[in-house]
Structure 1
Amino acid sequence: MRTLYVVTHPEATHHVENVVGGWHDSRLTPRGERAAEAIARALRAQIPDDVEPELFSSDLRRTHQTADAVAAAFGVKPVLDRRLREKSYGVAGGRPQEWLDRRFVPPPAVGERMAHDEGVSGAETKLDLAQRVYEAMDEILGRPHEHQIIVTHGGTLTFVVAHWLKVPIDSADYLNFRTASGSITTLREDDFFHNRQLTSLGDVRHLEA
């Protein structure tokens, strides 16, 4: 049985400042730091004591901080991977959210959605994001380890889950798995049928406690 625990980083400064995240290198707020500790405790309670999980994280500061809290709970070192970053919003990163909202061109209801240009200079397309996340996931799942933790971002999570479920990139144009900040999503593959399960999506009970 392989189990993946996918963590979305908790509250960061760009959330409370109402600026665009993306590759803007915001850090956890004090509330986010407390949530990161709660995430670490929740994972420690779910993973057997005799198991040393593999830990992967986006290299942005807010995810790195979250991964550090998890790493301390297990005595492991996170592997930082820029391919697990949030979608880049180009020149909008770090600007007020309203600045992006005035310029953003939403994807069409029907037609080209993955390579759609959202109207912001330097921004990644949905296809750009999907391709780099799928590449990272190929490497992570190529490692024969029963328990793996991935610390990433809300937008990136959709393609982590899509890859896990073996959804081809060109069929992922309408997918959006929405989760709260600081959530844990659990994915499992059984050893007999090798079926892949989305066991829980966006669990936040550890934050409520």
Structure 2
Amino acid sequence: MDAPPPSFPPPPVPGRVPPRERTVTVVTHPEATHHVEGLVGGQFDSALTPRGERQAAAIAAALHARIDGSARVGLVASDLRRTRRTAEIIGAVLGVEAALDPRLREKSYGEAGGRPQAWLDARFVPPPAVGERMRHHDGVTGSETRLDVAVRAYRAMTELLGRDDDELVVVTHGFTAGMVVAAWIGMPLEAAGHVAFPVPSGSITTLREDGYFHNRGVVTVGDVAHLR
């Protein structure tokens, strides 16, 4: 008689702590003042609008509904006002205090930050379709390259993934969120020249690592159903 096929994952062994899966939730901050005023964001320290505050509450409610109350939850955010405030609202609902990490800030647009978007558009040098994109400079004094953002985001994620969290919530910005996801899946730094994910303001991106094979998946990207 044929033996039954093995089960994956195998049944738990008495006395042994079962492996845990973990989830990383990447939140892009909701509507901020620079959005409605037509200004360049980046590291310009804009605040959430009243609508953005309501959107942050909707994000918090969505996370609360999904996260098991017995889970070990970590919360970390960019230290800019709009992300810090988003994390405060989430933390109040989840019962956890946010840690702030400036490495999760948005790409800096240097002297363009806080100026009208048209000012940047008139000076911006787009990256080439092929060739060197990571070190390409966009022509604005003081702005970061894609490589600058990737290096700090990858370093932040390397440290954060060493934490003992069942659920880790990362509150960041649109461009940086792409680098956070790239770091999660282990994309080599130099291969991130074209990486981009559709993560609109106020969106939730869900990343999950299974507790047996430790494969890392991208479950959802840029989900905004909670905002509707």
TM-score range, shorter-chain basis?
Answer: over 0.9
Contact 2:77–2:98 (8 Å) recurs in 1: yes
**Alignment of structure 1 residues 165-180 onto 2, 5 Å:** 165-180=185-200
The aligned counterpart of 1:134 is 154
- For the pair shown, the structure with the greater C-alpha radius of gyration is 2
Match of 2:220 in 1: 200
RMSD over aligned CA atoms reads 0.7
Provide the rounded CA distance (Å) in 2 between the counterparts of 1:165 and 1:22: 25
Q: TM-score, normalised by structure 2?
A: 0.90
**Runs ≥4 in structure 1, deviation > 3 angstroms?**
none
| Residue aligning to 1:189 | 209
Deviation of residue 191 (structure 1)? 1.3
- For the 8 Å contact 1:40–1:73, the answer to whether it is kept is yes
Q: d(CA) in 2 for partners of 1:97 and 1:18?
A: 6
Conserved 8 A contact 2:72-2:166: no
Structure 1 letter corresponding to 2:127: P
- Aligned runs of 1:26-45 on 2, under 5 Å? 26-45=46-65
- Could you say what secondary structure the match of 1:201 adopts? strand
Query: 1:110: Cα distance to partner?
Result: 1.2
CA contact (8 A) 2:29 2:56 kept: yes
- Structure 1, unaligned stretches of length 5 or more? none
Query: Could you tell me which residue of structure 2 aligns to residue 116 of structure 1?
Result: 136
AA in 1 matched with 2:99: V
1:99 aligns with 2:119: yes
Looking at structure 1, the residues matched to 167 and 197 of structure 2 have their Cα atoms a distance apart, in angstroms, of: 22
1:52: Cα distance to partner? 4.0
Distance in 2 between the 1:70 and 1:110 partners? 40
- Give the TM-score of the pair, scaled to structure 1: 0.98
Q: How many residues align?
A: 208
The secondary structure found in structure 1 opposite 2:92 is helix
Shift of 1:178: 2.0
User: Shift in Å at residue 3 of structure 1?
Assistant: 0.2
CA distance in 1 between partners of 2:102 and 2:157 (Å): 12
Name structure 2 gaps, 5 residues minimum. Answer: 1-20
Report the equivalent of 2:25.
5
CA–CA distance in structure 2, aligned partners of residues 183 and 118 of structure 1: 27
Give how far 1:51 is off: 2.3
